[in-house]
Amino acid sequence: MRPALLDPLFVPLTSLDGVGPKVASMIEKVVPADLTERRARAVDLLFLLPHGVIDRRNRPGIAHAAEGSIVTLEVRIDRHQPPPPGNRAVPYRIYAHDDTGEVALTFFHAHTAWLRNQMPEGARVVVSGRMEWFNGRPTMVHPDHVADAEAAATLPLVEPVYPLTAGLSAKVLRRAVAQALARLPALTEWLDPDVARRHSFPAFAEALSRLHNPADPLDVSPAGAAWRRLAYDELLAGQLSLALVRGRVRRIAGRALAGDGRLGNAIRAALPYSLTGAQETALRQIKADLARPERMLRLLQGDVGSGKTVVALLAMARAAEAGGQAVLMAPTEVLARQHLATIAPLAARAGLATAILTGREKGRERAAVLGGLADGSSDIVVGTHALFQEPVTYRDLVLAIVDEQHRFGVHQRLAITAKGDAPHMLVMTATPIPRTLVLTAFGDMDVSRLTEKPAGRKPIRTVTLPLERLDELTGRIAGAVGDGQKIYWICPLVEESDELDATAVEQRFAALQAEFGDAVGLVHGRMKGPEKDEAMRRFKDGTTRILVATTVVEVGVDVPDATIIVIEHAERFGLAQLHQLRGRVGRGERPSTCVLLYKAPLGETAKRRLSVMRETEDGFAIAEEDLALRGEGELLGTRQSGTPGFQVVRLEHHGDLLETARDDARLLLSRDPDLASPRGAAVRALLYLFGRDEAIRLLRAG
């Protein structure tokens, strides 16, 4: 049960004065909380933090006011100049002066009576707003505030500026935030006193008050003490909920999987190479986890081409040695079939039966796959979300492997858990995730990292080229095709639309086909599964030499003899995605090249991105740089994926607080696992405030 003292905050926005359904829906567009499954509440306004301030302490006088600056002026009203009758396009002007000069206060679509009442001729008033100069004359269009000079003391000297959306006025939003703040009850401190002292954190209520009622621009800085206090609270809530999830998952007893190594050795013998040191280390950690009676929950991070699939296969062989079944879930059908193509021949050498289950299998074929899962004749099954839908049953599912975890939410992890008798879980990602993000999004997992490239991998030469030199590039491509090489040509999403995406790709396909004829193939997201497979097969076997594609080839597609990848409009892609795409080449014996085609002029961020790509192939270094350039929300696509997007935390400013929050959460739960102490009760309030109440349900389910 939520503590009753928090009830005033957990009311709909429409409970606030001046907020009807229409205003509430506009406010919902700007609050940072994840509203995918609920409507906004008053508590969400607490964490809608200002991104700047209007500083009215600046009172330079009319003549000394800089163009574009926000200033406060004390003036005498000289005369009103209404627009000509019937001509609403001309603004209403009020002329006023101070000791330094004259200013025109300009109002469009003005209410004449209101203006005459607020600013009668001869009155002394204080106005505040942005100064602009037209034809050498100072003007202020729609001042933010107008007050009688004697009442001017009531004007806020420093006023917070919030994110807005069309139709939502700053005044209405500020009033709603102030009401939410007034509903905040007196809360018991949940911070460890040492932590609060060490970081000079103000109390929770004081931090909120400073941010929403700043006395200085520094008060709303993410690096300031008030913002850092709230960021720490959010990190602590996140780490506590992950630790509680972890405790719950650990308490669900797994099954110790012992094996004699017979199947694993048969697979190793079939490999044309030996494993890297990092792969051997990861396998040792996985086998040690599987041998314990508690469930494994491990994240396997490996850069593009570091050999995660083989590690996954050897883990699945261990499950089969112990008499159980294993599944490998991929986010797309293309990737699922790619995994099957890698795994099936090797598994067959060890006598293991593999199957595939995606949305495409229908009728008799599907029935045969489902039968094999139910009776245990299939040892390993690869597939998409279809693996965990209601009708699918397993004889004995003991290991679930999830690829590209950041595309799946925590909910899917729990759906998998329900399919077997608490199967062990291995999560894989080819997106190297910065350490801070691993701790926030996957803090409930142990982590293995594959940091080496398999032997024989050649470095990839990366070059940048402006679109103006496209003809030069196609000339070079012609030479490469003549030399028997294979080329990927990637086109970007023009917008978030499959149709536009396909159009851009089809135009490039037509242009290249005019030059290279049947040597050009095409793959994009709107094609049917079999069409995509056929296009990939033709590229793989060399029928086509150039594959024009969207980012459907981003993850997992394996054509070892492709040596060139051209990424068109590279400035539109994020670093992680550029790195993923580049990893499609450099998989064979020949040296490979990645050409980043860009449209000039480039912004600073795009410039930095492309230069990072030229400088390094280290996925983990690229991920850290991506975090610095983009922030965590975009990096993991948190809004879409169910990983914890933040309301207050900006990892580039607050990442240093993460380790402390993690240690604090673990220590607290080791001393008070049920959060029953006075501090535990305070922490429960914290979890509710930041929407981590699912963790409290886990406590009760204990």
Please tell me what DSSP assigns to residue 39: -
Strands (E), 290-394: 297-302, 325-329, 354-357, 380-383
Name 536's Cβ contacts closer than 8 Å, sequence gap at least 6.
334, 523, 547, 557, 559
In Å, the largest CA–CA distance within the chain is: 98
Tokens at 430, concatenated: 């080819």
Q: Which residues lie across from 138 on neighbouring strands?
A: 133
Q: Rounded to an integer, what distance in angstroms lies between the CA atom of residue 661 and that of residue 436?
A: 12
pLDDT of res. 264: 95
Q: How many Å separate Cα 59 from the centre of its chain?
A: 42
Contact 573, 492 (CB under 8 A): yes
Name 490's Cβ contacts closer than 8 Å, sequence gap at least 6.
549, 550, 551, 553, 565, 566, 567, 568, 581
pLDDT of res. 651: 76
* pLDDT, mean of each 10-residue run, the chain (702 residues): 91 93 92 82 94 80 88 93 86 94 91 89 91 88 83 74 82 93 96 94 96 90 94 92 72 79 94 90 95 86 82 96 93 85 94 92 90 94 85 90 65 62 83 66 73 74 93 92 92 56 75 92 84 88 91 65 92 84 83 92 86 86 74 42 66 84 91 91 94 70 42
Name 198's Cβ contacts closer than 8 Å, sequence gap at least 6.
none
Domains of the chain: 4-53+165-218 (no CATH), 67-155 (2.40.50.140), 221-451+624-629+639-702 (3.40.50.300), 460-616 (3.40.50.300)
Q: What is the pTM of this model?
A: 0.60
- Per 3-state DSSP, what percentage of the chain is helix, strand, and coil (rounded to 5)? 45, 20, 35
Contact 594, 624 (CB under 8 A): no
Please tell me what DSSP assigns to residue 156: -
Q: Which residues lie across from 381 on neighbouring strands?
A: 327, 355
Contact 303, 432 (CB under 8 A): yes
Tokens at 66, concatenated: 């800089």
Q: Rounded to an integer, what distance in angstroms lies between the CA atom of residue 301 and that of residue 347?
A: 23
What's the order of all strands across the beta sheet hosting 546-549?
460-466, 592-598, 562-567, 486-490, 546-549, 520-523
Place of tokens 């780490």: 239
State which amino acid sits at residue 125: V
Tokens at 220, concatenated: 């709303």
Residue 92 backbone dihedrals phi, psi, to 5 degrees = -90, 130
Q: How many Å separate Cα 460 from the centre of its chain?
A: 28
Q: Which residues lie across from 100 on neighbouring strands?
A: none
Contact 402, 425 (CB under 8 A): yes
State which amino acid sits at residue 84: P
Q: Rounded to an integer, what distance in angstroms lies between the CA atom of residue 10 and that of residue 702?
A: 26
Contact 197, 208 (CB under 8 A): no
Query: Using omega within 30 degrees of 0 as the cis cutoff, is the peptide bond preceding 601 cis?
Result: yes
pLDDT of res. 496: 45
**Neighbour count for residue 492 (Cβ, 10 Å):** 18
- Could you give the count of Cα atoms lying within 13 Å of 635 in the half-sphere of its Cβ? 29
